[in-house]
């Protein structure tokens, strides 16, 4: 995260609020973003127990419009979009010709358009990709005048229902326009913490007022990027650039569930042949959860080896995300291992500072998801 220091950093519409609430700001994908306010562990636990507000306005928000916009976007992703009902959201990935992942994204059917949320660090690359491949078939509208707030945690629905009672009836992965404090917002019941919650697309000029209203509710506290990362790691969710990138395929990453049935049969997206072969014949490596004994966290890029010896055995993979899981109460990690070593319970070693930590492959997520499905 230090590699972009020195470049001019952008600020979100909530910048003044972050400063006022004592945030420590760090560069995230070219933006100055809050890493923590009171402390990562407290913010993490508060999110699991109550409700937390995250500013994720650095993410890309794009509207795609066109006669056959779903069919057009399907030429770039393996997800079923033509079958996506109005008001439903779907997680999918942009693939390259090798089946690698250019970005992961959320697509919501907004009636006469598709609403797409992109990773901040991938925004420019994704937009150029859209322009080059589907620019002739649909109109690409970048919503640079909107902020994005995530209200996450078991109390999120109680809080948001005070402003907009109908949000109670929204199911996980559905989106709707809700009027919050007299402002029309586009709200999706989803998030990046494993908890119930909402992502709220709000006009930039109203973002601070809405954030303050939400923070006035007794259940809600601000949480920063530190907690966002430990929450998503415990929830087993991929971080683009760490756990998935242009060299990992959705099959290797354990995201085969995001490849539509019809799309498997028909193909018609970049890397379809590679992905079809992997689905049929299996993959050489898989993304898994990892739990080490003891208290030392293994971080991204720690080698994963066979479990023999203090210096570890032959290398069988690499950690892609790792750290301390406050809800788990110990170190948690994810990484890729050879497919033959991917079964939960398999003993492995994680190499940290030249020492082998005894660990086991673990089932993901580390903390059960609590989405509102019905």
Partner 1 sequence: MGIVRYTKEHEWIRVEDGVGVVGITKYAQEQLGDIVYVELPEVGAGMTKGAEAAVVESVKAASEIYAPVGGEVTEVNQNLADNPGTVNTDAMGEGWFFKMRIADTDEVDRLMDGVAYQEYVESLS
What are the residues binding partner 1 (CB under 8 A)?
Answer: 24, 35-36, 39-42, 44, 226, 229-230, 295-297, 299, 323-324, 326, 353
What is the nearest approach in angstroms of partner 1 to the Cβ of residue 298? 10
Q: Which is nearer to partner 1, 93 or 352 (CB)?
A: 352
Q: Which is nearer to partner 1, 36 or 92 (CB)?
A: 36
Q: Which is nearer to partner 1, 20 or 112 (CB)?
A: 20
Task: Let me know: does 29 contact 121? Beta carbons within 8 Å.
Answer: yes
Cα 370 to Cα 52: distance, rounded to the nearest angstrom = 15
Cα 298 to Cα 320: distance, rounded to the nearest angstrom = 10
* Cβ atoms within 10 Å of 66's Cβ, excluding its own: 18
Q: Which is nearer to partner 1, 41 or 183 (CB)?
A: 41
Q: For residue 296, what are its two tokens?
A: 């030392």
Q: At what angle do helices 225-234 and 40-49 cross, to 10 degrees?
A: 60
Cα 274 to Cα 279: distance, rounded to the nearest angstrom = 9
CA angle 301, 35, 222 (to 5 degrees): 135
Q: For residue 9, what are its two tokens?
A: 């950093």
Task: Let me know: does 262 contact 297? Beta carbons within 8 Å.
Answer: no
Using the Cα atoms of residue 27, residue 142, residue 52 and residue 364 in order, give the sign of their dihedral: negative
Q: Which is nearer to partner 1, 234 or 252 (CB)?
A: 234
Q: Which is nearer to partner 1, 13 or 325 (CB)?
A: 325
What is the nearest approach in angstroms of partner 1 to the Cβ of residue 331? 8
What is the nearest approach in angstroms of partner 1 to the Cβ of residue 37? 11
What is the nearest approach in angstroms of partner 1 to the Cβ of residue 326? 7
What is the nearest approach in angstroms of partner 1 to the Cβ of residue 287? 22
What is the nearest approach in angstroms of partner 1 to the Cβ of residue 314? 25
Q: Which is nearer to partner 1, 99 or 326 (CB)?
A: 326
* Cβ atoms within 10 Å of 212's Cβ, excluding its own: 14
Among residues 153, 152, 333, which one has the least CA distance to residue 230?
A: 333
What is the nearest approach in angstroms of partner 1 to the Cβ of residue 344? 24
């Amino acid at each position: 995260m230090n590699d972009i220091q020195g470049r001019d950093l952008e600020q979100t519409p909530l910048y003044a609020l972050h400063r006022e609430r004592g945030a420590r700001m760090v560069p995230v994908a070219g933006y100055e973003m809050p890493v923590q306010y009171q402390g990562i562990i407290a913010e993490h636990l508060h999110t699991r127990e109550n409700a937390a507000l995250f500013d994720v306005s650095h993410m890309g928000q794009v509207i795609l419009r066109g006669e056959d916009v779903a069919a057009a976007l399907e030429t770039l992703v393996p997800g079923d979009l033509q079958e996506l009902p109005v008001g439903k959201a779907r997680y999918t990935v942009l693939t390259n010709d090798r089946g690698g992942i250019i970005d992961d994204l959320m697509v919501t059917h907004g009636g006469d358009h598709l609403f797409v949320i992109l990773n901040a660090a991938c925004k420019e690359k994704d937009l150029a990709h859209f322009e080059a491949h589907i620019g002739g078939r649909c109109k690409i509208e970048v919503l640079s005048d909107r902020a994005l707030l995530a209200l996450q945690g078991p109390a999120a629905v109680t809080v948001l229902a005070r402003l907009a009672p109908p949000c109670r009836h929204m199911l996980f992965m559905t989106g709707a326009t809700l009027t919050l404090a007299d402002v029309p917002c586009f709200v999706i019941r989803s998030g990046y913490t494993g908890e119930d919650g909402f992502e709220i697309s709000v006009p930039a000029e109203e973002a601070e007022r809405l954030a303050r209203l939400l923070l006035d509710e007794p259940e809600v506290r601000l949480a920063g990027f530190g907690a966002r990362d430990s929450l998503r790691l415990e929830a087993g969710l991929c971080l683009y650039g760490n756990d998935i990138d242009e060299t990992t395929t959705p099959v290797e990453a354990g995201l085969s569930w995001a490849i539509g049935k019809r799309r498997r049969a028909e193909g018609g997206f970049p890397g379809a042949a590679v992905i079809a072969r992997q689905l049929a014949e299996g993959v050489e490596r898989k993304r898994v959860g990892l739990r080490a004994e003891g208290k030392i966290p293994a971080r991204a890029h720690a080698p994963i080896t066979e479990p023999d010896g203090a210096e570890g055995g032959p290398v069988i993979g690499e950690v892609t995300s790792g750290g301390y899981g406050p809800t788990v109460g110990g170190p948690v990690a994810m990484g890729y291992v050879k497919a033959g070593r991917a079964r939960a319970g398999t003993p492995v070693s994680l190499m940290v500072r030249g020492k082998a930590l005894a660990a086991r492959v673990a089932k993901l997520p580390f903390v059960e998801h609590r989405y509102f499905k019905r």
